[in-house]
Structure 1
């Protein structure tokens, strides 16, 4: 799994040095390119109107960069400085977002313009070695057929929206193949009377059919899916079920938090009410873990980044990297268990119980230990409870998993004892829970 940092809200494309430096110094190795930065949704929505205004405003003649909507081939030039600086910092660019219309766009006459922009985006990705490009599905674009309401897709897998999108994506397939780019569809939402509701590609079963049908037609795996967590949260979707249905078709996940009512891109865990998260991280992690997700984990926290002073930005970036690492660790926790030839636990409480319930049969520990002398020599969940000193006698290559919320305190204790291969186990996002109260010993 690759952790990818979105550059939106962090990097100024005209003077990218400081933003790229903050990203690199925080430990990120991959960044994403949002090509919308060069051709904003606003510009596309007002295509044909802005040109008239530009003729009226003399000062616009001094602009260095031509409007990308008028000159799609200028995309690479727009990002030249950013590409150069990111190359100096050895940052990879595995993921990009193509320009897109606003979610509730009323324009139905821009198919040819979008096709030109998206083909140029694919070529650009090919030139810079970017493997994944998100191209949002068409919802309000007519091209020989009338586009239907996005609600109708829930009733008919191969309705008019499928026909419009099938034709459109197949027009891009040859370009994508030539440039070795995987095209990703993305789940959408739209507003109805001020409420965000599910839009096109928000039904897992339907979008799975779409992706499979497109790949069959092109004879290879050229299409996949990008799961936008923010959209799922806005629409109240069960992300566990959504992930499970799409499975390996999910090539990228955009991690962003919001209040569940309005669009937002905040750092995960920062949007909460009464001590509870507004985003269902539990079912997201469960779903991605169950499907063995190993694609691009894209951290988009532009709104959080913009609210912080540039002076505090370096510290924010370090914390953001820690948050992304935490998600990767949670999703790949079983890979961590597989890493060791044997396992011993520290802790004889509920977390140990949850480990045994979820992983005890597949990855049986040698024993568990605890600082409470009263439980030494007893049995807990089928494990012998020993003194921490017993950890000095474990076989070479044995992983010691701390099953107790006082992680850092216990970790220091074990390091002082000369113990190696110390890992944390966490039961916040397990496949199931076991909340039986412990019998007082």
Structure 2
């Protein structure tokens, strides 16, 4: 099976005032797909600080009209909207009831409707980070599962697969495993929910940066996921902070051993005959480089995508 394309986030690449220019830029840089950054309309840092952008106050008709230029520009440039990221978190522990109700009742269902309107097959959500508050990972998952069931019927009707991703958490200043880091539990839970609905309403998004932070075995995790892996968040970090930088950027030693296990990444995807999109979650790169190097940075990221594609296809 062949990789179906190379993608990147729309965040920092697409300007709402003129989306056609951004999509043209991405196409020329070598991308065939985008990860539509719906999460930029309610930013996670603001949500944690109890701030509400009220972007989703708009009716679904108004939201469709808002995103119509994006949809049309992508189609004109021949770029597929391959995946979307729902704003997160969808629940703030010990947060204000008013905000949590808004996230659940306005943001989440309208995000699903936008995803459907954009003809996007996958939407990524974050599991609730509640193990510290509830005392166990199982109790934490129960709350995430409740949210998934809330959206699952809508997902089935719309032909959308909701994707959970491996996360990290921060406890007393230390990074620890967050939701969905135990692949055996992930596989069991995805299969159980999909069997219940008789459809692939739930899949997985593997995040390389988060996996690197908590020491996940890339090859084992990806191989164990198998067909449940639907989308990727490809980015790099130093193993200490979630930096979302270009792959191969960080080394563990002066001998240049990569901080991230890219060999395990390639091997795992090759083992499961992954035929999805090699999607880069590298938006911060576009603001860390000077504006005049934006095109060069995008072209380089796309070139790394082609390298991964070649290596994954190598037998």
Quick one: which of 6, 9, 12 aligns to 2:15?
12
Quick one: which of 331, 346, 355 aligns to 2:312?
331
Long gaps (5+) in structure 1 = 51-65, 154-158, 335-441
Equivalent pair of 2:206/2:229 in contact (CA under 8 Å): yes
Rg comparison, structure with higher value: 1
Which range moved further: 307-316 or 252-261? 307-316
Calculate the aligned-residue CA RMSD, in Å. 2.4
1:95 matched to 2:83? The reply is yes
Shift in Å at residue 299 of structure 1?
1.0
For residue 95 of structure 1, give the secondary structure of its aligned residue in structure 2.
strand
Quick one: which of 240, 245, 257 aligns to 2:219?
240
Deviation digits for residues 249-276 of structure 1 (CA, Å, limit 9, x no counterpart): 1111111011110011111112235222
1:114 matched to 2:103? The reply is yes
1:67 matched to 2:54? The reply is yes
CA distance in 1, matches of 2:181, 2:96: 21
CA distance in 1, matches of 2:93, 2:286: 27
Equivalent pair of 2:128/2:143 in contact (CA under 8 Å): yes
CA distance in 1, matches of 2:139, 2:59: 29
Quick one: which of 152, 155, 162 aligns to 1:183?
162
1:41 matched to 2:44? The reply is yes
CA distance in 1, matches of 2:250, 2:96: 35
**Could you say which structure has the higher helix fraction?**
2
Shift in Å at residue 174 of structure 1?
1.2
Equivalent pair of 2:141/2:179 in contact (CA under 8 Å): no
CA distance in 2, matches of 1:294, 1:239: 17
Deviation digits for residues 277-317 of structure 1 (CA, Å, limit 9, x no counterpart): 11111111111111222223211222222122222222222
For residue 55 of structure 2, give the secondary structure of its aligned residue in structure 1.
coil
CA distance in 1, matches of 2:228, 2:238: 27
Equivalent pair of 1:45/1:102 in contact (CA under 8 Å): no
Equivalent pair of 1:258/1:278 in contact (CA under 8 Å): yes
CA distance in 2, matches of 1:219, 1:246: 19
Quick one: which of 252, 255, 280 aligns to 2:261?
280
Which range moved further: 209-218 or 10-19? 10-19
Shift in Å at residue 223 of structure 1?
0.9
Equivalent pair of 2:167/2:178 in contact (CA under 8 Å): yes
Quick one: which of 233, 256, 267 aligns to 1:254?
233
Deviation digits for residues 82-138 of structure 1 (CA, Å, limit 9, x no counterpart): 333323212110110101029986527455323331211111111121001111112
Deviation digits for residues 335-390 of structure 1 (CA, Å, limit 9, x no counterpart): xxxxxxxxxxxxxxxxxxxxxxxxxxxxxxxxxxxxxxxxxxxxxxxxxxxxxxxx
Change (3 A) 1:232 1:172: same
CA distance in 1, matches of 2:142, 2:87: 21
Q: Which residue of 2 aligns with 1:377?
A: none
Q: Which residue of 2 aligns with 1:384?
A: none
Quick one: which of 255, 267, 281 aligns to 2:246?
267
Deviation digits for residues 367-426 of structure 1 (CA, Å, limit 9, x no counterpart): xxxxxxxxxxxxxxxxxxxxxxxxxxxxxxxxxxxxxxxxxxxxxxxxxxxxxxxxxxxx
CA distance in 1, matches of 2:35, 2:69: 15
For residue 205 of structure 2, give the secondary structure of its aligned residue in structure 1.
strand
Equivalent pair of 2:226/2:272 in contact (CA under 8 Å): yes
Equivalent pair of 1:35/1:97 in contact (CA under 8 Å): yes
**Greater relative contact order (Cα < 8 A, sep 6+):** 2
Q: Which residue of 2 aligns with 1:310?
A: 291
1:85 matched to 2:88? The reply is no
CA distance in 2, matches of 1:238, 1:3: 24
Quick one: which of 130, 142, 152 aligns to 2:120?
130
TM-score by length of 1: 0.65
CA distance in 1, matches of 2:110, 2:145: 19
Q: Which residue of 2 aligns with 1:341?
A: none
CA distance in 2, matches of 1:257, 1:86: 27
For residue 311 of structure 2, give the secondary structure of its aligned residue in structure 1.
helix
Aligned length: 307
Long gaps (5+) in structure 2 = none
Q: Which residue of 2 aligns with 1:231?
A: 210
Shift in Å at residue 71 of structure 1?
3.9
